Structure 1
Amino acid sequence: MRKELPKVYDPREVEPHIYQMWMDNGCFKADADPKKKPFSIVMPPPNVTGQLHMGHAMDSTLQDILTRFKRMQGYSALWLPGTDHAGIATQIKVEERLREEEHLTRYDLGREKFLERVWAWKEKYGNRIVEQQKKMGASCDWSRSRFTMDEGCSQAVREAFCELYDKGLIYKGSRIINWCPHCLTALSDAEVEYTDKPGHLWHIRYPLADGSGDIVVATTRPETMMGDTGVAVNPEDEHFKHLIGKTCILPIMNREIPIVGDDYCEIGFGTGAVKMTPAHDPNDFEVGLRHNLEVIRVINDDGTINENGGKYNGMDRYECRKAIVKDLEEQGYLVKTEPYSHNVGTCYRCHNDVEPLISAQWFVKMEP
């Protein structure tokens, strides 16, 4: 043992011994004790996608302070540690490593081999995360550590789901979701990053069914027009109010669709008339509910056009956009094209454009 203190403090020489002493003496274990009040914190489990960052360090410090304070007050204090599988995020990381180091995709490996790589990643980075937390002096009861895919956790999730379902608090319904065609997963609103991108506003002529003229709509997404089931105008708009109740012909698809009046339409924006695609836009979906418009989905999960897209079936959504604009121009339906920059939702993981899609999803009723 040194007789003199070193001029510079080296935590590597001091802290591991102290932490090991705490571990050896069970200082962080929190067994049920009838003589003590219980206090517990469940660690928001960090994703096994890499290493901890400054946000984890700050969050862990606050939880550690609270747990140690309660322990000093005489509580049976439990700080329950764990890690999260973060399925899609982990998959993306493993795929990136495969692509960069071995020039392979998950399809080259096959399902079983790819799963082996994902589990190996979990073992490597899950353990690294735990060791990083120990280096910070986290006073967790490591004997109780959990991984979100442990059988006990999975069983608890199923039980909680069934209990909420039986109480009528979980229900299934078709709604517009944020869908990533690359990751093949739904995203919450918080997981969508909006980027200002240059695009176009296409003005398209929809002939009136009675032959008395036409109505011009403006859209940034002509590739969805095969799913149009209506055109909406503001009921106070003098240019269009006389058309409410009439029908028009959807170009290319040659389908008759109604013209409805709805306050959602902004007078003066674009042409004042908006094509309604309830299966591919959250606002159109709400308008569709109010006016009982048909819901026709035309884009697959992988971003290609489905059988409802007619001759464009199987095309990539952006290739389809080019083809439709070309066809509209050749058939005399394209009135004009103007540059237009707008916010486009992108996936926070892979940065591909998010596709709003109608999908059957589970929801939790929050009102009670």
Structure 2
Amino acid sequence: MTSTRGFYKAIKSPRPYDAAEVARWFQSVSMERVNAIGTAMEKYISINLPQSVRSKSRLSDYRTSPYVLMATAGALRLEDLRELSKFLVDIKLYMGLETSFGKSIEKVVMGQYPEGSCLGNQWQEPTEKVEEFAALAGLSNEEKSARRVDSVWREIDSSCVAGNRRHLLTIKSGTSTINDTQVGGMYTAIRDNHKEWLRTSVERFEVHGIDVVIGLTYGTDSATNNKENQILAKLMSAGFKEMDRLTHPGVLTNEEGTVRVYRAIGIDYWAYVANPANPAETEHAFLEVLLGLAVALRRAHEKSDIGAALNERLDLLSSAISDLKFPEGDDLPRWITADLGMSELTWLAAAISAFFDGR
């Protein structure tokens, strides 16, 4: 067993902002790829963002923690229904996009890489995972859920071949996404399935080995909740060993060197996605993604009805909150109306809705 002493410290190196370095990266950005990402993301945003906003048509769709809602509304002094409604719409929009945008990045942006890849060799869902899913066709949701327990490929989101190795990537959105349950699930999946991943990769793609990578799309090594590193530490008690702590920190390998496991975070994640064989050459890739998204947002807002959709939800939510009826007259204790003003009662009405269905 490889000792894990000092492992976390060795791989949690800080990444301070370096303006000169960022300036150099901007010079390496591909205008063609930025426009390609922008065009692809524009289609997603123009269709799905207004649709996502309009899909929430009831007060219950904006349900959030009533305790946090009241505390935040009080701290921000959201004095009227419009302000409170805007807060609820904004927070639900953010929460919804955090999930849906992660999926769109996998489907839309990942397909633009690796750099120089030919058609059919971009990042895509593993063929084996597609086949696993197809085998469940015709089953009920309950039956599918039961069968997925035995899935070999469930934890692998995307794959591609670069050089003589196949790269298998599990994608998590950010620095605090992975929880303890997922640590156990991902560790178990890699421990139990890496030999099968290697076998089928060698047979289908004639590669010499595989890289299994835990990817976080933003953040830095030192800013994560350490869960991705816990997965690696657990694997060191299951037959994996460090490749070289000084020259390849955080890279684990099996005894034969045919399977490597490591994580890639933020800038390193996009560099790896853009060039799995040599990420050091593509550290600018994260800028291409951000610039592409900026282009997409400008184009989408110029021709879509995102703003109209948001205003519709504000009007609907304000009306729904105002329609909530409190007990009147003697049914409402006098000390409540004596101690609480209209602002506090409005926040209370919105919070109470979290405990009921309908509307």
Q: Which has the higher helix share?
A: 2
Q: Same fold (TM over 0.5)?
A: no
TM range (shorter): under 0.3
RCO comparison, higher one (Cα < 8 Å, 6+): 2
Say which one has the larger Rg: 1
Q: Which has the higher strand share?
A: 1
